[in-house]
């Protein structure tokens, strides 16, 4: 009887220690979040853009007035037109002014248009590699939604565009450790988020979600960013799966190690029959078209087939 009671005591003690550990981890994460959101160099949205976004959120705002306000900012107009005329929106004709852009894109996507321009402007300097990856993923996401007729949230393409913004945040938080994590991940062929968690205590997914929440973005954009390296998702499943597929395809083509989307979430999202091999080939052609300095990796087709086979095996199992 004594041994039974002692065994119960040990079991309860183990449970208590696990709970204490989880609480300490939660406290540490909260402290890191507070420190990150108080950084002086945290990516911010300009006052003018904030004002425009507030106008767009106000249902009583007159779109004509919003367009007039956009036109007052010549630099913003130039950047919006550059984005609209790129492959991002796949326009059938050249767009020369904001009125034309709004008519073609649609009033509901003006907010997305401004936010996309703002994000790409942030990433145009030292974060060019993140921008290239994010931009290519956003185009792939648009095609994926159309091909599989997925019911994604209205601003899903912007969500995909911003999914790795947390890497920019981690660089500001601890540049030396973040760079070390990148090098370790490449050297050991590990997913970057795995090494980030080990070295920094958080991942770029968490950091990105916190920043987007700080900007006041809605849950349909913050949650998929938070979940984009998770095996499964409780909500925003389609958006999360889209990011995972695009992230896997683009990184594989660039020779970067990343987890394959788990078959469980693919099935839930309506992407259970995705064939990755032709997608990898098509994406290679896309990058060759939109990135002048893109180089096709040696033995890429062999590695693509290997990735596709592993994905198919996962589907069977």
For residue range 304-317, list pLDDT tens digits in order.
767 765 554 454 44
Residue 201's closest CA among 231, 174, 165, 164?
174
- Residue whose entry in the numeric block shows the structure tokens 């070295």: 199
CB contact set of 77 (below 8 Å; sequence gap of 6+): 70, 71, 98
Per-residue pLDDT tens over the stretch 32-72: 999 999 999 999 999 999 999 899 888 888 889 999 999 99
Where does the pLDDT of residue 198 fall: very low under 50, low under 70, confident under 90, or very high at 90 and above?
very high
Token pair of 257 as six digits: 């190690």
Are 167 and 204 in contact, with CB atoms under 8 Å apart? yes
- Whole-angstrom CA distances from 221 to 50, 157, 252, 286 are 17, 10, 24, 25
Per-chain mean pLDDT for the chain? 87
> Residue 267 in 3-state DSSP?
helix
User: Checking phi first, is residue 258 left (phi over 0); if not, alpha (psi -120 to 50) or beta?
Assistant: beta
How is residue 303 written in tokens? 């590695």
Predicted pLDDT at 71:
94
pLDDT computed for residue 100 by the predictor? 93
The tokens of 254 are what?
A: 């660039």
Distance of CA 133 to the CA centre of its chain: 10
Residue ranges per structural domain of the chain: 1-38, 42-122, 123-317
pTM of the complete model:
0.86
DSSP 201: S
Whether the Cβ atoms of residue 206 and residue 226 lie closer than 8 Å to each other: yes
The CATH number that domain 123-317 falls under is: 1.10.3210.10
In angstroms, the first-to-last Cα distance of the chain is: 45
3-state secondary structure of 205: helix
- Alpha-carbon span 233 to 210, nearest angstrom: 18
What is the C-alpha separation between 84 and 81, in angstroms, rounded?
A: 5
**Type and span of the H or E element at 39:** none
* pLDDT (average), residues 225-249: 95
C-alpha–C-alpha distance, residues 156 and 238, integer Å: 9
Identify the CA nearest to 114 among candidates 151, 152, 161: 161
**% of the chain at pLDDT higher than 70:** 86
The total of other beta-carbon atoms located within 10 Å of residue 225's CB is 29
């Amino acid at each position: 009887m004594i041994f039974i009671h002692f065994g119960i005591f040990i079991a309860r003690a183990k449970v208590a220690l696990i709970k204490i550990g989880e609480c300490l981890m939660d406290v540490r994460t909260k402290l890191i979040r507070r420190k990150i959101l108080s950084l002086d160099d945290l990516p911010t949205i300009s006052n003018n853009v904030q004002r425009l976004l507030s106008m767009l959120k106000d249902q009583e705002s007159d779109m004509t007035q919003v367009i007039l306000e956009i036109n007052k900012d010549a630099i913003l107009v130039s950047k919006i037109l550059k984005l609209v005329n790129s492959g991002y929106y796949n326009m059938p004709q050249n767009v020369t002014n904001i009125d034309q852009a709004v008519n073609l894109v649609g009033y509901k996507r003006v907010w997305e248009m401004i936010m996309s321009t703002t994000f790409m402007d942030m990433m145009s300097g030292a974060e060019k590699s993140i921008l290239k990856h994010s931009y290519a993923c956003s185009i792939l996401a648009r095609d994926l939604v159309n091909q599989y007729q997925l019911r994604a949230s209205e601003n899903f393409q912007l969500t995909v565009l911003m999914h790795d913004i947390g890497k920019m945040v981690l660089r500001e938080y601890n540049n030396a450790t973040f760079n070390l994590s990148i090098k370790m991940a490449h050297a050991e062929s590990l997913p970057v988020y795995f090494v980030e968690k080990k070295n920094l205590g958080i991942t770029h997914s968490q950091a990105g979600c916190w920043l987007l929440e700080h900007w006041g973005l809605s849950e349909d954009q913050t949650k998929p960013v938070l979940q984009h390296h998770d095996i499964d998702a409780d909500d925003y499943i389609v958006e999360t799966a889209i990011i995972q597929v695009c992230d896997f395809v683009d990184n594989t083509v660039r020779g970067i190690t990343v987890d394959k989307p788990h078959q469980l979430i693919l099935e839930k999202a309506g992407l259970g029959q995705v064939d990755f091999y032709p997608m990898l080939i098509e994406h290679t052609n896309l990058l060759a078209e939109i990135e002048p300095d893109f180089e096709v990796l040696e033995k890429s087709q062999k590695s693509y087939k290997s990735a596709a086979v592993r994905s198919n095996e996962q589907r069977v199992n």
